[in-house]
Amino acid sequence: MQLPEALQPWRHWLEWFAPHHLPLFADLLGRLNPVLGPLRGRYQGGVPEPDGLGDLHRRGPYERLLSSEWLLADEVPDEFLRRAVGGEHMFLAPQYRAREANRLIVVLFDAGPLQLGAARLVHLALLMLLARRAEEAGAQLRWGILQGQPELHALDSSAQLKRLLEARTYEVVSDHHWQAWRDSLADQAAGECWVVGQRLPPTDPKVCTHRVQIARSLDGRSLSFALASRRVLLPMPDEQQAVRLLKGQFHDAVHTPAPSVAGRVARVALTLPPVISGSGNYVALRLLDEHGMVVIKLPHKNQKKALEVRRRLWGKHEHVFAATFHYRSLGAVVGASNHLHFWNIPGLGFADKPSREEMHLPPGTATFLPAVWLRGQLSERLYLLDTQGQLAYWQGPRQGPKGAGVVVTSNVLGMAQVDALTLVYARSEGGQLVTYSAWADGEKTSGYAVGAAAGVSQILFASTAHWKYAFGGCALLTQAGAYQSWRLVTDDSFPAKKAQIDLAPGWKAIGLHHQAAAQERYALVLLGPNQHTIGLYADGQQQVLFTTTAPIAVRVSAP
């Protein structure tokens, strides 16, 4: 491979990549190399050991004075003293054998959610830079993963780079991770130890010689690489090229995905959002060539067998209004003429279609209506929210004749399923927003007023156990536009104080997370302005959880 002169120092490692990837790494290597600084010096390991006699010197301790000088002291004391004053005595100088320390460069990478995406390409470039650094010093390079077991790997092939990319985890680096590595490196006598990531724990400077922080800018257009007081901004790579590299496709060879899909792959509608089960293990997509949906069971880690893909079909003359999961079972609300069919939902067979005044159910909608399927000990209940804020539910016995009547509630702003058995919704009553919780066998008679309804355009509910017996927490969007303003109402602040949260321009809240710990905490789940970043806002601080190379598709169930 013909490389420009500027890239010749890294020729050995760049040969692992296809030629069209070289401009990307040429830019990264050129920007990062000046920031790394000089190599640490070679240190003597321990006290030097004598290795015979070396030379004669006129200075030294008198225990190494030549024997002939001592004879002169016995025979001619005055001459001995004169030679001592004049610095003319001769001393033996021993030859020392230096014990050099093990010349080892160790680099530990954060493979957690804060370093997903383009930051991993910076990891590759830094690993190649340090490999060249070790080669020039006659040292060895070893790398490891901070969140993994203290195990070091060599960099002898492109397979090691792919191994680094595959070491992904959703666990952030903790003090426990660093302490395990610190104890492991205590016997390594490394000349340099690099720790690379974001929000790194405190490290021991005697072990960790270099701390590198890699973070994505708030606007998502660049990465910052900070080492001590030196900092450089790195442009975001081309999206398609970055995706291929992050998948380990360093060359142009076509990789067969594993596990494979058994049988013919169905054509699905990409304009409709997928329906995802509560556990996240099943995904349903609308079929294009048939009247129904295809259900895909997502594979487990290291799964070898083919993906489980099944078709679920309903009548040819029925159009679908909504689809939802109960655990792994897919149910749907489909209609034809003046009746509704609760497809694959036990206890609910057919029902009369509500009038237009009760429910707005136009055929051929561009998206599914929000729906929740609850199953109790005695009955099944299906909730459906239309685009006009009308919330309806149908209820039927789990055993016995199928069929159900409809109950409709108006002025509903939003609903959410907070666990497998419980649903919550909020409606406007007399200018106030009131939240209710319900389950398959019943509904709370009393609600909880959370504030004025005027100006509120969206509501997010926290998934907490509090909803079973009290108020569980919610967030109200009070201002939308260049920036969003949210009013947070939690179970401990209800009904008195409420927190006001103003997000940075372009950021949007897409969920409300409840962390049950010694001290309960509520946090807004955020989507970045370019839809590549997921963040968290809690306790007045905003942090980035992970980034992606492709835009994140979001389904917001709001009227």
Asked if residue 186 and residue 312 are part of one domain, the reply reads: no
CA distance 549 to 249: 15
At residue 554, does pLDDT exceed 80?
no
Taking only the tens place, the pLDDT of each residue in 155-188 is 988 889 999 998 888 889 999 999 999 999 887 7
CA distance 245 to 119: 12
Asked if residue 305 and residue 225 are part of one domain, the reply reads: no
Asked if residue 299 and residue 397 are part of one domain, the reply reads: yes
Residue range 15-32: mean pLDDT, rounded = 89
Q: Write out the DSSP string of 469-482.
A: TS---EEEEEE-SS
- Using a pLDDT cut of 70, give the percent of the chain over it: 88
Taking only the tens place, the pLDDT of each residue in 419-463 is 888 899 999 999 999 999 988 877 766 788 888 999 999 999 998
Question: What Å distances lie between residue 135 and 9, 13, 21, 31, 108, CA to CA?
Answer: 10, 12, 23, 20, 18
- Structural domain includes residue 419: no
At residue 41, does pLDDT exceed 60?
no
- Structural domain includes residue 310: yes
Distance between first and last Cα of the chain: 58
- pLDDT at 40 (0 to 100): 62
- pLDDT at 411 (0 to 100): 92
Number of domains comprising the chain: 4
What is the H or E stretch that residue 374 is in? strand 371-375
- Structural domain includes residue 135: yes
The top-scoring range by mean pLDDT among 45-59, 115-129, 156-170, 252-266 is 115-129
Asked if residue 236 and residue 310 are part of one domain, the reply reads: no
Asked if residue 104 and residue 142 are part of one domain, the reply reads: yes
Q: What are phi and psi of 75, to 5 degrees?
A: -90, -45
- Structural domain includes residue 430: no
Taking only the tens place, the pLDDT of each residue in 290-300 is 889 999 998 88
- Structural domain includes residue 438: no
Residue range 290-317: mean pLDDT, rounded = 84
Reported confidence tier of residue 208, pLDDT bands at 50, 70, 90:
very high
At residue 271, does pLDDT exceed 70?
yes
Reported confidence tier of residue 494, pLDDT bands at 50, 70, 90:
low
Reported confidence tier of residue 98, pLDDT bands at 50, 70, 90:
very low
- Structural domain includes residue 483: yes
Helical packing angle, 77-85 and 67-75, nearest 10°: 130
Return mean pLDDT, the chain. 83
Of 246-255, 382-391, 423-432, 475-484, least confident by mean pLDDT is 246-255
Reported confidence tier of residue 526, pLDDT bands at 50, 70, 90:
very high
Residue range 369-383: mean pLDDT, rounded = 88
432: nearest Cα among 451, 415, 447, 414: 451
Task: Give the domain-ending residue among 410, 434, 456.
Answer: 410
For residues 301 and 110, which has the higher predicted lDDT (pLDDT)?
110
At residue 52, does pLDDT exceed 80?
no
Residue range 303-310: mean pLDDT, rounded = 79
409: nearest Cα among 396, 397, 392, 433: 392
Asked if residue 120 and residue 108 are part of one domain, the reply reads: yes
Q: What is the 3-state secondary structure (H, E, C) of 488-523?
A: EECCCCCCCCCEEEECCCCCEEEEEEEECCCCCEEE
Asked if residue 559 and residue 482 are part of one domain, the reply reads: yes
Reported confidence tier of residue 82, pLDDT bands at 50, 70, 90:
confident
Bridge partners, residue 499, by sequence? 488
Asked if residue 296 and residue 155 are part of one domain, the reply reads: no
Asked if residue 505 and residue 452 are part of one domain, the reply reads: yes
- pLDDT at 49 (0 to 100): 53
- Structural domain includes residue 57: yes
Taking only the tens place, the pLDDT of each residue in 384-407 is 999 889 999 988 886 655 556 678
At residue 50, does pLDDT exceed 70?
no
At residue 120, does pLDDT exceed 90?
yes
At residue 38, does pLDDT exceed 60?
yes
What the block records as the tokens of 300 is: 């487990």
Reported confidence tier of residue 51, pLDDT bands at 50, 70, 90:
low
Asked if residue 229 and residue 274 are part of one domain, the reply reads: no
242: nearest Cα among 440, 54, 24: 24
Reported confidence tier of residue 100, pLDDT bands at 50, 70, 90:
very low
Asked if residue 93 and residue 107 are part of one domain, the reply reads: no
For residues 35 and 553, which has the higher predicted lDDT (pLDDT)?
35
- Structural domain includes residue 123: yes
416: nearest Cα among 345, 491, 511: 511
123: nearest Cα among 171, 155, 170, 151: 155
- pLDDT at 32 (0 to 100): 93
At residue 527, does pLDDT exceed 80?
yes
- pLDDT at 559 (0 to 100): 32
Residue range 262-277: mean pLDDT, rounded = 76
Q: Which residue blocks in 292-451 are alpha helix, DSSP H?
A: none
Reported confidence tier of residue 255, pLDDT bands at 50, 70, 90:
very low
196: nearest Cα among 127, 129, 109, 113: 109
Asked if residue 503 and residue 550 are part of one domain, the reply reads: yes
- pLDDT at 532 (0 to 100): 81
Task: Give the domain-ending residue among 393, 410, 427.
Answer: 410
At residue 354, does pLDDT exceed 90?
no
At residue 197, does pLDDT exceed 90?
yes
State CA 270 to chain mean position distance: 25
Q: What predicted TM-score, i.e. pTM, was given to this entire model?
A: 0.55
CB contact at 8 A, 281 and 293: no
User: Can you give the residue range of the structural domain that contains 14?
Assistant: 5-41+100-246
Which residues touch 516 (CB under 8 Å, ≥6 apart)? Answer: 464, 465
DSSP state, residue 26? H
CA distance 9 to 28: 14
